[in-house]
Structure 1
Amino acid sequence: MAIERRKVSLADGRDVEFLVTGPEGGLTLVVHAGTPSGLVLNAKVREAAIERGLRVLQAARPGYEDSTPRPGRTVGDLIPDVAAVLDAIGAGEFVAVGFSGGGPHSLGCAALLPDRCLAAASVAGVAPYTAEGLDFLAGMGPENIAEFGSAARGWEALSEYLDKEASALAGVTGEQIVAAFGGLVSDADKAVLTGEYADDMAESLNGAIRNGIAGWRDDDLAFLADWGFPLADLGGRVAIWQGDQDNMVPFAHGRWLAAHLPGARVHLEPGAGHLTMTVTAIGDILDDLLDMAGRR
């Protein structure tokens, strides 16, 4: 099915750019992409969703693509934007999946839109920066340690760091993506970063920085701040997927979330990397979501 690229204007004057595809009568799957990400709907996700009759919605967070920046935003601040885009396409109930930096936003949907979000999954998603008993940086690749170290020093230090990173990434191709990620990708991830998936990833990175680093920077700062919603009362409506070969978001993050989300479905996957489950397990992830939502 064709992918439609649209934009909605919000009551506060901001614009949100988004993609939508799939059958209009299908249950909506809200996709929260990682950090940084432009408006590119991963082909594996799209195909698996449409096979299950789902309508797919992916919105660019503020500062990415043509979505208006929103400095100082929290993770929770994004959830009303999701509701507004759902309203714009005439969708009511939905399920959500978030990959990497999209994981907290997926959990936010379950927490802040409980009457609409039937189930949510966090796939290789970060835990809170101030999580008790978790060393947030331990096990991360050197690039992420440098990035979050800059974020901890504040807006100016992070902006300086990301400006350099964005310059280095500009124009990256699928064939260059493994080298561009450096120490952030494990051998498991390198094995799947080929062909169409690598091309999608490169296109997404280029889209993310097309209009500057605002989206990337504000994502990072939001992860380090209070997320703006509680985790403890999400009940049986969320699933945590995490691999033990992840150099971007280490396995300990998934274990922490699993231990602190009572009733969550937990999938701690041996041998899986940060990116692999998008390729190898997306069908299982969506089936699990639909089962939680009572729609399988």
Structure 2
Amino acid sequence: MLRIGDRIIHYNVYGTEGAIPTMSFGGSPSTRWKRPDAVEAISASGLWMAVPDRSGYGGSTRQPGRTVASVVEDAAALADVLGWERFAVTGGSGGGPHALACAALLPDRVTRCAVSGGIAPPVVDGPEPTEADEQADPRRNRTSWLAARDGEQLRTQLEETARHIMEAVQVGGPEFPPDPGAAPGPPAREDPAAMARLTATFVTSHDGWLDDLIAFAKPWGFELGDIRVPVSLWHGSGDERAGKYADHLAAAVPHAERRYYIGGHIPPVNAYRELLRWLTLS
């Protein structure tokens, strides 16, 4: 646990102490508790990885009104506690903007930044987006549009989404939806650790999830064009939405590399290992 003023941040550390320092930012929503296959990949990668729960997640003190850039203070403080002068960052999905914030605002400390299935700044002006609008350009999505206008209505929708997810789990669904064409994983309800991760993500609190979405829908607090550290943008062959986001990010972030893998929104283990290996490059 880390104290920053009157706030606390909970975090886990994985991998080998003294190895290459790396900070990982989970999606929206997320938990600091990694799956066993991810923990194994981290341990084999030569990384020493810290995974903080952002404000509002997992017992970390909520920070109403935070921006994407607000995470930078927490990341720097956590790195200081761990004795890291320099470190790599990575973020998946909604964690991507937070990793990019560190790359932009901590250029003397961040060595590399890998983003997997990350989002680009949404477009929230104008009328409420239609499904066709969102399919053409995921930056114009109803969730972001609503986040910019009515947080309480958005909270109600998030609670409903979380309820549906947990109902599917209770009747035998896997921890994560399978990639297109792939067989579903084992029932999560039979794995206490998987249920603990799901509970932390979808049941305990929706504050962090809500605050993430509101932060995405307003200015992020930094410019993508200011990033100068090496950046890689990863997305799966079955994740068309992330691919469209990556198009916008690649156009905005100087010298960003595009990386593809076979799979969906969540990288399979082989792709995750490759992403981790990229973070170790000098």
Equivalent positions of 1:108-187 (< 5 A) are: 108-130=101-123, 137-138=134-135, 147-170=143-166, 172=169, 175-177=172-174, 187=180
Q: Secondary structure in 1 aligned to 2:12?
A: strand
Q: Distance in 1 between matches of 2:171 and 2:99?
A: 27
Q: State the Cα distance separating 1:87 from its structure 2 match.
A: 1.6
Q: State the Cα distance separating 1:44 from its structure 2 match.
A: 3.0
The alignment status of 1:250 with 2:242, answered yes or no, reads: yes
Show the counterpart of 1:102.
95
Show the counterpart of 1:194.
185
Q: Secondary structure in 2 aligned to 1:62?
A: coil
Show the counterpart of 1:287.
277
Question: Structure 1 vs Structure 2: percent identity of aligned residues?
Answer: 31
Q: 1:113 to 1:233 in 2, by over 3 A?
A: same
Q: Distance in 1 between matches of 2:237 and 2:133?
A: 15
Show the counterpart of 1:274.
265
Q: Distance in 1 between matches of 2:49 and 2:187?
A: 19
Q: State the Cα distance separating 1:102 from its structure 2 match.
A: 0.7
Q: Distance in 1 between matches of 2:234 and 2:183?
A: 17
Deviations 1:206-239 (A, max 9, x none): 2024432100100111111111111112235111
**CA contact under 8 A between 1:44 and 1:278: conserved in structure 2?**
no
| More displaced stretch, 89-98 vs 55-64 | 89-98
Deviations 1:238-270 (A, max 9, x none): 1111224226x432101111122121111144x
Q: When the two structures are superposed, what TM-score results if normalisation uses the length of structure 1?
A: 0.80
Show the counterpart of 2:33.
40
Q: Which runs of 5+ in 1 are unaligned?
A: 1-6
Question: What is the number of equivalent residue pairs in this alignment?
Answer: 272
The alignment status of 1:8 with 2:2, answered yes or no, reads: yes
Alpha-carbon RMSD across the aligned residues, in angstroms, is 3.1
AA partner of residue 147 (structure 2):
A
Equivalent positions of 1:232-247 (< 5 A) are: 232-246=225-239
| More displaced stretch, 62-71 vs 157-166 | 157-166
Q: Distance in 2 between matches of 1:82 and 1:136?
A: 35
Deviations 1:128-148 (A, max 9, x none): 10399xx9832699xx95644
**CA contact under 8 A between 2:224 and 2:253: conserved in structure 1?**
yes
AA partner of residue 8 (structure 2):
D
Deviations 1:14-33 (A, max 9, x none): 01000013322112121111
Q: 1:62 to 1:136 in 2, by over 3 A?
A: farther
Deviations 1:94-148 (A, max 9, x none): 111111111111111111111111001110000110399xx9832699xx95644
Q: 1:164 to 1:84 in 2, by over 3 A?
A: same
Q: Distance in 2 between matches of 1:56 and 1:85?
A: 11
Out of 200, 215, 223, the residue aligned to residue 216 of structure 2 is 223
AA partner of residue 241 (structure 1):
W
**CA contact under 8 A between 1:29 and 1:94: conserved in structure 2?**
yes
Q: Distance in 2 between matches of 1:68 and 1:197?
A: 28
Q: 1:273 to 1:84 in 2, by over 3 A?
A: same
Q: Secondary structure in 1 aligned to 2:233?
A: strand
Equivalent positions of 1:14-25 (< 5 A) are: 14-25=7-18
Q: 1:212 to 1:253 in 2, by over 3 A?
A: same
Q: Distance in 2 between matches of 1:158 and 1:73?
A: 17
Show the counterpart of 2:128.
none
Q: When the two structures are superposed, what TM-score results if normalisation uses the length of structure 2?
A: 0.84
Deviations 1:27-67 (A, max 9, x none): 21211111111221133332222213211110001111110
